[in-house]
Amino acid sequence: MMFRQGSRLLAGSVRLSRRPFSTATEVPAATTTNADSGFIESWKKVIPNIDPPKTPSHFMNPRPATPSSIPSKITVNFVLPYASELSTKEVDMVIIPATTGQMGVLPGHVPTIAELKPGILSVHEGNDVTKYFLSSGFAFIHANSVADVIAVEAVPVDHIDPSLVQKGLTDFTQKLSSATTELDKAEAQIGVDIHSALNAALSG
Amino acid sequence: MAMAALRREGRRFVPLISPQPISAVQSSLISQEQAPLGVRSISTQIVRNRMKSVKNIQKITKAMKMVAASKLRAIQIKAENSRGIWQPFTALLGDNPSVDVKKNVIITVSSDKGLCGGINSTSVKMSKALHKLTSGPEKQSTYVILGEKAKAQLIRDSKNNIELCITELQRNPLNYTQVSVLADDILKNVEYDALRIVFNKFHSVVSFPPTVATVLSPETVERESESGGNLGELDSYEIEGGETKGEILQNLAEFQFSCVMFNAVLENACSEQGARMSAMDSSSRNAGEMLDRLTLTYNRTRQASITTELIEIISGASALKG
C-alpha cells in the first residue's frame, strides 16, 4: 500500500512544531442511513436470546437530504486517522488533488468518488485560503453538496521545511538510481514522487 | 508482574476461603486449634495471615486500577479522534449488516490480557451468533481473531473455522501504519465477500455496546449497486482516476477496511482499559469489605479471650476469698 510509505515520508520532513489538531469527534454529516431493520429482524429470528449488536449507523449523525436548489456553500468534512481536521465546515470552494488533476469543488458538484495523490488541498472561505499537503487518500462528493476528504496524513503547508524537502529529494533520487531490487526501486520512486510533490507545493 | 503476584496471592488465599463462609471461621478456628494441654487461649494466627493477604491483594488491584485509568486517558483521546475516519465510508457505502453473501469473514477484536470484565466474552458471543446467522448451505463463514483471549475461547469449539489468529497487537502504541499493515495481512490471507468486524465500542467507563461493522468486497459493492437496493445510489457517482471502476472500488474497499479496523482496534483497546478500571475498582472495594469483616472477627476473638482470662482470674480470686 502506497499510503503508508507516503505518510511516513511526509512525517519525516515536517517540523515538529505541528499545532495540535482539533479533537472534534463524531462528524455529523449527510444522507440518512437508517439502522438496518432487516438485520435486526433476522437476528432476532436466529438468536432470540442475545440483543442484536449495534452497527455504525447507530453512532452517526444523519446526513442532510439533497436540497432542491443548490446551496451557496459546500459542507466539508476533512478527516485523518488521528483527527477530524474539519467537520461540517461550510466553505465556498475546495480544490482537491485527485489523481486525474486538481479538482475544484463548488456547491452542486456532481457526485464523485476521487482517488487522491500527494498534493495540495486548498479550502477557500471568503478571502481566506487554507492549504494542506495531503499524502494520499480518497474524496467523496455527495449530491447534497457535502464533500468528504479522507487522507492518511496531512499537514498545513506552512509547517513544511523546504530545506528538508530538498535534502529528501536528493536522497531519494540517489537511492532510485542505486536501487537493485524491485522493492527498493518502488520505495525510492514513492519517495521521489512525494518529495517532488512537496517541492511543487512549496514553490507553487 | 502484578498479575503473577495476584495469582500467587490468590493461590494462597483460595484454600482458606473456599471451604466455608466468613461467619463460620470463628468456630472452626476454635475447634481446630491445637493448644498445649491446659492452655485455653485462642490463636488468631490464621485470621491475621488472611488479613495480610487480603490487604496485599487490595494493594495490587488498586495499583492495577490506577494503571488502567492512566492508560485509558491516553487511549480515549486517540479513539475519540479516530471516530471521524469511518463516517464518510458509511455515508457513501451505507451500513449493510444484513447483506447476504457466500463468503463471510468475521473479525473478532479482543484483548491480549484478561482481568477486564466481560468485554472479550461479549465479542466472542457476538461473533458466534453472527457465525450462526451467516452460515448456511452453500455459505461459508470463517473467523479471523485478534487478541489472545478470543482465541482461547473460540479455539475450543470453532477450531475448524478459524482462518487466522493475530496476537500481541498492543505491544506498541497503536497507530494507523501498524493497523494498515495488519489489514493488508488479513486481506492477503482470506477470501471474502463481506468482512464483519466485531468489537466493543467505547461509550463510557461502564458501557461498551458490542458493535458490528461491515466492509463489502469490491465485487459485492458492484453487484449490489447494480441491483439497486441499499447501494443503489452509488451508480450515480462519477469515478475519477484509476484505470477501471473495479480498480477504484478495490482501493476503496481496502482503504475502508484499514480505516474501520483502525477505529475498531482503538475503540476495543479503550473499552478494555475502561472495563479493567471498573473491574479493579470493584475488586478493591470488595477486598476492603472483606478486610473490615475479618478485622471485626479478629477483634472479637481477641476480646473474647481476654474476657475469658479475666473471668478465670476473678473467679479464682473469689474462690480463695470465699
Q: Are B154 and B129 in contact (CB under 8 A)?
A: no
Q: Which of A21, A36, A114 is opposite residue B95, by nearest beta carbon?
A: A36
**Whether residue A91 sits in one domain with residue A6:** yes
Q: Which of B78, B201, B254 is opposite residue A54, by nearest beta carbon?
A: B201
Residue A102 pairs in a beta bridge with A97
* pLDDT tens column, B6-39: 555 555 544 444 444 444 444 444 444 454 555 5
Number of domains in chain A: 2
Which residue's C-alpha cell is 485470621?
Answer: B47
Q: Which of A4, A42, A63 is opposite residue B177, by nearest beta carbon?
A: A4
**Whether residue A151 sits in one domain with residue A170:** no
Q: Do B85 and A111 touch (CB under 8 A)?
A: no
**Whether residue A150 sits in one domain with residue A112:** yes
**Whether residue A197 sits in one domain with residue A100:** no
CA–CA separation, A8 and B177 (whole Å): 8
Which residue's C-alpha cell is 461509550?
Answer: B203
Domain encompassing residue A181: 162-203
Nearest to A134 by CA among A197, A42, A40: A197
Least-confidence region, from A17-26, B69-78, B281-290, B307-316: A17-26
Which residues of chain A have a CB within 8 Å of the CB of B252? 113, 138
Position B5 scores a pLDDT of 60
Element (H, E) at A147: strand A146-151
3-state secondary structure (DSSP) of residue B258:
helix
CA–CA separation, B148 and A126 (whole Å): 53
Structural domain contains residue A39: no
Position A3 scores a pLDDT of 55
Least-confidence region, from B44-48, B128-132, B292-296: B44-48
Is A171 or B1 the better-scoring residue by pLDDT? A171
Q: Mutate which of A1, A2, A32, A51 to disrupt the B interface (most B C-beta within 10 Å)?
A: A1
Position A8 scores a pLDDT of 58
Which residues of chain B have a CB within 8 Å of the CB of A24? 84
**Whether residue A131 sits in one domain with residue A92:** yes
Give Dmax over CA atoms of chain B in angstroms.
117
Q: Are B154 and B162 in contact (CB under 8 A)?
A: yes
**Whether residue A155 sits in one domain with residue A71:** yes
**Whether residue A124 sits in one domain with residue A168:** no
Q: Do B129 and A7 touch (CB under 8 A)?
A: no
For residue A30, what is its C-alpha cell? 449527510
CA–CA separation, A195 and B42 (whole Å): 83
pLDDT at B196 over 90: yes
Interface of A with B in 47-66 (CB under 8 A): 47, 50, 53-60, 63
Structural domain contains residue A168: yes
DSSP A89: E
* pLDDT tens column, A7-18: 555 555 554 444
Residue B309 pairs in a beta bridge with none
Q: Do A115 and B97 touch (CB under 8 A)?
A: no
Average pLDDT of the segment spanning A193-201: 88
**Whether residue A109 sits in one domain with residue A146:** yes
Architecture of domain B82-277: 3-Layer(aba) Sandwich (3.40)
Position A65 scores a pLDDT of 85
Is B173 or B233 the better-scoring residue by pLDDT? B173
DSSP B113: S
| Chain B: residue whose CA lies nearest to A46 | B133
pLDDT at B235 over 90: no
Structural domain contains residue A36: no
A102 reaches B (C-beta below 8 A) = no
Q: Do A33 and B254 touch (CB under 8 A)?
A: no
Q: What is the ipTM of this complex?
A: 0.80
Position B23 scores a pLDDT of 46
CA–CA separation, A148 and A60 (whole Å): 14
* pLDDT tens column, A90-136: 999 999 999 888 999 999 899 999 999 899 999 999 899 999 999 88
Structural domain contains residue A78: yes
Helix axes B45-81, B245-321, angle to 10 degrees: 160
**Whether residue A196 sits in one domain with residue A104:** no
Interface of A with B in 138-177 (CB under 8 A): 138, 140, 142-143, 146, 148, 150, 152
**Whether residue A190 sits in one domain with residue A152:** no
Average pLDDT of the segment spanning B282-297: 95
Residue A148: which CATH number?
Answer: 2.60.15.10
